[in-house]
A and B are shown apart, each in its own frame.
Chain A
Amino acid sequence: TSAAMAAVCGRGLLAPLSGRLRAGPRAPLRSVTGAAAPLYDVVVSGGGMVGSAMAAVLGHDIHFYDKKIALLEAGPRKEYSRMPDSYSNRVSSISPGSATLLSSFGAWDHVCSLRLKPFRRMQVWDACSEAMIVFEKDDLDDMGYIVENDVVMSALTKQLDAVGDRVEVFYGSRAVGYTWPLPSHSCDTSPWVQIELADGRRLQTKLLIGADGHNSVVRKEAKIKNVEHRYDQSAVVATLHLSEATDNNVAWQRFLPTGPIALLPLSDTVSSLVWSTSHEHASELLAMDEESFVDSINSAFWSNVNHSDFIDTAGAVFRSAISLLKPSGTAVRQLPPSIAKVDPESRAMFPLGMGHATEYVQHRVALIGDAAHRVHPLAGQGVNLGFGDIACLAHHLSAAAFNGSDLGSLKHLLKFETERQRHNVSLIAAIDVLKRLYSTRLAPLVLLRTWGLQATNALPPVKVRI
């Protein structure tokens, strides 16, 4: 991963801008005959959670009051006035920072009025040892929220409607081609990005924001290199019913040698499963009958078959050492709730991978969300990184608009890139390292992570940073 790290760090601070100004196919010399394609100030390509939130944030920004924004989404419109009784199997862990962003333009209220589950504690432990780490805020505040993706989308759709005079949403519209402008000092051709939709319609924009996921077409067409790696894991998701009702305000994650299994609370009786495991095992899990599936889950959380005496002893020794130095530094391991049944039809799987774009921006282009960076779900960070991108980019675009600047200018786009790469690269690398570290039974590595986890659990400053 060190080579990958070097690549993901992208360009140095003093890299000349000129390399960024030519991207992909050039706009041909064209004489304007007939009506020119409509010109937008910003077009966001991709109407998922991150793309929709980006368009909504800009639409609510006071300095964008007279600007024209468009959002392109290939799928249909998603809005619910009330949620169906059953829970969706695609959920996200929303951090408090992301919740703040969503409430800044009124979307969080909609989420709260639909449904969400705050959690107060997070217990993470190893299958190969007794090591465990517990996260919880001192003041018993919410650590985060488990929200169905459909709920977030519905809230975002409502807030996009609220600024419909500034943000135009094109549903069922897939962008099939982009044409890039020449650098700004060449005056003969259009300086804007040209977008062609599947139905033949054309748009022009001063700034294109790519929020089209980890297989981003914007990124590919802009010829931005992507460092990517397919994990040999798939994630199995499902909606589970607990054996008995409980407060259910704890998020559980256990690292098995095949991959982490996580139980995320949705209500007092329902939790969401995210089980990252090998492709073969994932297919087996999907194929087996419901009873066996439930048994596998309970066994994954409860069984100690992967413990070895050596590791247990070493771990116990370390734990006593810690308790001498820091009596409060060890905690009792709690057991997660047991599962009674799984929602029929709620089992699904999807392959996992990591990715990082070497550049987040080019002249008139910016990437956010999974288009810029893709991570393993083990840390529950994916969508939160995307929301962090939005907060940063919106901040710089708002200032640029208030300065009368050209929105597509690299000057402020690079500031966004620097800030976010600095924040993201270390986190993405850490998640990747964690994934690899926990994918093994080898004693030395297990010992390393056991001691590491125990030490981290005992050290408040480190825990707070996480």
Chain B
Amino acid sequence: LFRPTVKRLFSTSHSSVDSKEMKKFQLLAHKWWDEEGEYSALHSMNDIRVPFIRDTLLNMSSNYHLGKPLSGVKILDVGCGGGLLSEPLGRLGASVTGIDPLEDNIRTADRHKSFDPVLAKRIQYKSSSLEEIVEESMETFDVIVASEVVEHVADLEMFIKCCSQVLKPEGSLFITTINKTQLSYVLGIVIAEKIIGIVPEGTHEWEKFVPPEELERLLESNGFSVKTLNGMLYNPLSGSWSWMESTSVNYAMHAVKSGAQGQSSPTDTLSETESEQPSATAGTTM
């Protein structure tokens, strides 16, 4: 539901990462691994986002390593926080690089993985923003996961451009985030923050929420082809997530960077759960 890291990407006219936001999340930097604490919803989100990433990647590749389905895959976890998503991906065999601008988060993540020698080898954490690693990581990664991040990013188009730069051609980008609708305001902010209090107040700004059509438009115009769009729903009573057809609250998206020629293939077969192809007339639906 929320990600306690705020990224403001470097550019000549923008300021650096907001220190006020950073301080707010500093207090929670040690709470990442309490499965029943403030981050419980993110812990349980693993139950749907890890299989989603895993199965999408397995469907696209023909290699299968018994016991390590993601063996050989290089993944960048942007806004990794305490490593909640990096660790399961590491356990499945991937080589994971987790980046987060907040040093305390990286410290927590490093300490948590250090007790497991297998994970310690497969995962590397770095305190950094996305654009800081672009130069040294051009076309390095097979997969980027940006889960519960884009709703905190100041310049989304810049973020997507950086993703494209560090991603190999035909590489995958997985995003989970919150839609900008009346329903997401009621559920995500009024109820989640103010009434039930499962999200600390002030974590999210509705203005920053990203509708899937907007995200798709930005992706498609920056060399990505959107393959899958699924709605997600959190049940606070059971503490569990499930897939949902409607994307009006939370959603997950999978996009693929176009091949070396720089054109997305027009004859891509799309899965059932995909949204309509973005075009000039899209945007008024939903």
User: A residues bordering B, Cβ < 8 Å?
Assistant: 16-18, 39, 62-67, 183-185, 187, 190-192, 206, 401-406, 409-411
A411 to B112, CA, bound (A): 19
Q: Is the Cβ of A404 less than 8 Å from the Cβ of B115?
A: no
Distance in angstroms from B81 CB to nearest chain A CB is: 14
Binds A, one of B34-42, B248-256, B269-277: B34-42
Q: Other than the known A185-B32, A187-B111, A402-B54, what 7 A-B pairs have Cβ atoms closer than 8 Å?
A: A187-B33, A187-B112, A403-B47, A404-B91, A405-B91, A411-B35, A411-B44
Select which of B32, B50, B68, B116 is within 8 A of A403 by beta carbon. Answer: B50
Nearest residue (CB) in B for A405 is B88
- B47, B54, B90: residue with the most chain A Cβ atoms closer than 10 Å: B47
Distance in angstroms from A423 CB to nearest chain B CB is: 21
User: B residues bordering A, Cβ < 8 Å?
Assistant: 30-37, 44, 46-47, 50-51, 54, 66-69, 87-93, 108, 111-112, 115-117
Kindly list chain A residues whose C-beta atoms are within 8 Å of the C-beta of B87: 404, 406
Q: Is the Cβ of A184 less than 8 Å from the Cβ of B34?
A: yes
6 cross-chain pairs, A with B, having the tightest CB-CB distances, nearest first: A65-B67, A404-B88, A185-B34, A66-B67, A65-B66, A404-B91
Nearest residue (CB) in A for B48 is A403
Q: Is the Cβ of A16 less than 8 Å from the Cβ of B112?
A: no
Distance in angstroms from B199 CB to nearest chain A CB is: 18
Nearest residue (CB) in A for B108 is A187
> Known contacts A190-B115, A403-B47; is A185 also within 8 Å of B67 by CB?
no
A446 to B69, CA, bound (A): 61
Q: Is the Cβ of B88 less than 8 Å from the Cβ of A403?
A: yes
Distance in angstroms from B236 CB to nearest chain A CB is: 13
> Known contacts A65-B68, A403-B50, A403-B51; is A39 also within 8 Å of B33 by CB?
no
Kindly list chain A residues whose C-beta atoms are within 8 Å of the C-beta of B68: 65-66
A-B contacts, 29 of them at CB < 8 A, read A16-B36, A18-B36, A39-B116, A62-B66, A65-B67, A65-B68, A66-B66, A66-B67, A183-B34, A184-B33, A184-B34, A185-B30, A185-B33, A187-B33, A187-B111, A191-B115, A206-B116, A401-B91, A403-B47, A403-B50, A403-B88, A404-B46, A404-B54, A404-B87, A404-B88, A404-B90, A404-B92, A405-B91, A409-B35
Distance in angstroms from A149 CB to nearest chain B CB is: 32
- B34, B47, B111, B115: residue with the most chain A Cβ atoms closer than 10 Å: B115
Distance in angstroms from A5 CB to nearest chain B CB is: 27
Distance in angstroms from A352 CB to nearest chain B CB is: 41
Select which of A67, A187, A405, A406 is within 8 A of B67 by beta carbon. Answer: A67
Distance in angstroms from B72 CB to nearest chain A CB is: 13
A185 to B50, CA, bound (A): 21
Distance in angstroms from A442 CB to nearest chain B CB is: 49
Distance in angstroms from B181 CB to nearest chain A CB is: 30
A184 to B82, CA, bound (A): 13
Distance in angstroms from A74 CB to nearest chain B CB is: 29
- A39, A185, A403, A404: residue with the most chain B Cβ atoms closer than 10 Å: A404
Distance in angstroms from B10 CB to nearest chain A CB is: 31
A187 to B109, CA, bound (A): 10
Distance in angstroms from A446 CB to nearest chain B CB is: 48
Kindly list chain B residues whose C-beta atoms are within 8 Å of the C-beta of A17: 35-36
Kindly list chain A residues whose C-beta atoms are within 8 Å of the C-beta of B30: 185, 187
> Known contacts A65-B66, A66-B68, A411-B35; is A39 also within 8 Å of B117 by CB?
yes
Q: Is the Cβ of A62 less than 8 Å from the Cβ of B67?
A: yes
Nearest residue (CB) in B for A191 is B115
A67 to B91, CA, bound (A): 10
Kindly list chain A residues whose C-beta atoms are within 8 Å of the C-beta of B51: 403
A16 to B92, CA, bound (A): 29
Kindly list chain A residues whose C-beta atoms are within 8 Å of the C-beta of B116: 39, 206
Q: Is the Cβ of B112 less than 8 Å from the Cβ of A402?
A: no
Nearest residue (CB) in B for A409 is B35
A190 to B115, CA, bound (A): 7
A206 to B89, CA, bound (A): 17
A401 to B69, CA, bound (A): 11
A409 to B34, CA, bound (A): 11
> Known contacts A39-B117, A192-B115, A403-B50; is A64 also within 8 Å of B34 by CB?
no
Nearest residue (CB) in A for B92 is A404
Nearest residue (CB) in B for A63 is B67
Kindly list chain A residues whose C-beta atoms are within 8 Å of the C-beta of B67: 62-67, 401
> Known contacts A62-B66, A187-B112; is A404 also within 8 Å of B89 by CB?
yes
A337 to B33, CA, bound (A): 64
> Known contacts A39-B116, A185-B37; is A404 also within 8 Å of B31 by CB?
no
Nearest residue (CB) in B for A39 is B117
A18 to B35, CA, bound (A): 10
A335 to B147, CA, bound (A): 71
Kindly list chain B residues whose C-beta atoms are within 8 Å of the C-beta of A183: 34
Kindly list chain A residues whose C-beta atoms are within 8 Å of the C-beta of B108: 187
A365 to B228, CA, bound (A): 39
Distance in angstroms from A89 CB to nearest chain B CB is: 42
Kindly list chain B residues whose C-beta atoms are within 8 Å of the C-beta of A66: 66-68, 93
- B31, B46, B91, B93: residue with the most chain A Cβ atoms closer than 10 Å: B91
Q: Is the Cβ of A404 less than 8 Å from the Cβ of B50?
A: yes
